[in-house]
Amino acid sequence: MTAATDKKADEVPPVSADPEEEVDDVEEDGAPEGQGAGGEGKKKKKKKKPKKKKLEQTEPPTVGLSKLFPDGKYPEGELQDYKDDNAYRTTSEEKRYNERMAMEDPEVTYNNIRRAAEVHRQVRRYARKYIKPGMRMIDIAETIENGTRALVEENGLECGIGFPTGLSLNHVAAHYSPNPGDTLVLGEKDVLKVDFGVHVKGRIVDSAFTLSFDPTYDPLLEAVKAATETGIREAGIDVRLGELAGYIQETMESYEVEVNGKVLPVKPIENLSGHSINPYQIHGGKSVLLVKNDDQTKMEEGEYFAIETFGSTGRGKVIEQGECSHYARIVDAPHVPLRLTSAKSLLNSINKNFGTLPFCRRYLERAGESKYLLALNHLVAQGILQDYPPLCDVRGSMTAQFEHTILLRPTRKEVVSRGEDY
C-alpha cells in the first residue's frame, strides 16, 4: 500500500512438512520355517512402510503455513550487504550480537515478518498464474484474500490481511479495491497493479507487482521494476531519504515507451512514495519519494521500509478521484464524542476487527456490518478515520508499480518479500 505525500505469485517450491520417510527391508531374526538342503532357512521379512507423502501447497492455496513449517521457522528473504561506510557491519561482533538479541525479542522477532513474507510469496505465486483478462476484479481480490487468510491462519488482530488488496488499472496508480457489487472486468489491454499485504502480530509485509497482457507496456514495467531494484540496492542505515529518491528517479527516467508510434518518457510519480512501516501501522512516518529532494532524514538500524516505486506515461502526478474503498483509523486521532449511535457501533467494530490496520468496505460487510455508509462518512468527517480514494494520473496514461519490503538488520539488509518471481 502506497503513501501519497500530499495527504496525511511466485515460483516457491512446495515444502515438505516432514522429511520423507522410507524403511528398507529388514530381515527378522527367528527360527527357520523350513530347512533346505544347504541348511538355509527362510526368514520372514518386514513389509515396507509406505512412504510418507509430502505435504504440498494446493492451488488455489489453502494449506496453512504451520502445517508446511511445523518447526515454526520460516525462510529468510534475500540478504544484501551494506555498502561503503556500513560494509563493516557484516562481520562486526557487536552488530552480530545486537542481531541475536533482536531475534530473541518477541516484539521485534524477524520470524513474524518472515512468516508473513512466506504467505505473500505463496499467494503471489498463485495469483500470477491465476489472473487473466476476462476475470471480475472482485473475484481476483477475493481469491488473493482467501489465500492470504488461509495460509496465515487468520486469527483476529493476531495475524491476517495487512491492508485491502489493491487492483488499480491503467491510469489509476493505487488505492482501488473493488467495493461490494463492483462488476469491473479485467481487459486484454489493461495494466494491472496487484498490491496486497500480510501481517503477523502487526508486522506487515507490503509487496506489489504489475501485470500487462499487451507487450506495448513491457518497457514501462521494466522501468518501474528497475527503479525498485535501485531503491533496494541503495537503501541502508544512515542513507538520506532525499538522496535515495534521486537514485530511483535517475533509473526510471532512463526508460521510454513507444505507444502508437509515439515515444513517451517514463516519469516517476512525484507525489507517491514508499514508506517506513511500524507495528500495526502501514505508513510509519518516513517517506521514500521517487524524485530527488532535500529530505535529510536518515534510514536507521532496525527500521522496516516498503521500497515502492510508480512510473507513468502521463503527467507523473496523481490526484484523488473515484469511489473510495480504503479506510484506516488514524493512529493518534483525538477523542471525539460521537452523536450518531451507528457511528459508535461501527467504530467499535473497526477497533475489534482492524485496529489501526487499513480496511475496505468489503471487509466491513464480511464482519457483519450493513447500512454503514452514513456512519463511515461521519467517522471520516470527525477525524477518526482517514479515507484513501483512488490515486489517478491523467486518463489515457498507464501506470505501473513494483514494491518490496526490506528490513535494516544490524548486520545486513534483508529483502524479506523477495521471491523467485522478482
DSSP, residue by residue, 355-369: TTS-EEHHHHHHTT-
Q: Return the higher-pLDDT residue of 105 and 358.
A: 358
267 has pLDDT over 70: yes
Measured between alpha carbons, how far is 188 from 166 in angstroms, rounded to an integer?
Answer: 19
Rounded average pLDDT over 144-162: 98
49 has pLDDT over 60: yes
Position 53 confidence tier, pLDDT thresholds 50, 70, 90: confident
Residue 52's pLDDT is: 67
Burial class (CB in 10 A: 0-12, 13-18, 19+), 385: buried
pLDDT tens-digit readout, 199-229:
999 999 999 999 999 999 999 999 999 999 9
Q: What crossing angle do the helices spanning 93-104 and 110-130 adopt, rounded to 10°? A: 80
pLDDT tens-digit readout, 292-338:
999 999 999 989 999 999 999 999 999 999 999 999 999 999 889 99
- Cα torsion at 406, 407, 408, 409 (round to 10°)? -140
Cite the active site residues: 195, 206, 275, 283, 308, 403
Phi-psi region of 238 (alpha: psi -120 to 50; beta: other; left: phi over 0): left
41 has pLDDT over 80: no
Q: Return the higher-pLDDT residue of 106 and 185.
A: 185
Decide: helix, strand or coil at residue 174: strand
Which residues contribute to the annotated binding site?
A: 175, 195, 206, 275, 283, 308, 403
Measured between alpha carbons, how far is 108 from 162 in angstroms, rounded to an integer?
Answer: 17
Element (H, E) at 212: strand 203-212
Query: How far is CA 420 from each of CA 58, 66, 124, rounded to the nearest angstrom?
Result: 18, 22, 11
Residue 36's pLDDT is: 47
Domains in the chain, start-ordered, CATH in brackets? 3-7+70-319+397-415 (3.90.230.10), 326-388 (1.10.10.10)
Helices (H), 255-372: 341-353, 361-366
Rounded average pLDDT over 163-185: 98
pTM (two decimals): 0.86
Element (H, E) at 405: strand 399-408
Q: Return the higher-pLDDT residue of 44 and 271.
A: 271
pLDDT tens-digit readout, 100-146:
777 666 555 789 999 999 999 999 999 999 999 999 999 999 999 99
Burial class (CB in 10 A: 0-12, 13-18, 19+), 340: middle
Residue 22's pLDDT is: 41
Residue 95's pLDDT is: 86
162 has pLDDT over 70: yes
Instruction: Give the strand pairing for 391-392 and 172-174.
Output: antiparallel
Residue 14's pLDDT is: 46
Residue pair 384/77 in contact (Cβ under 8 Å)? The answer is no
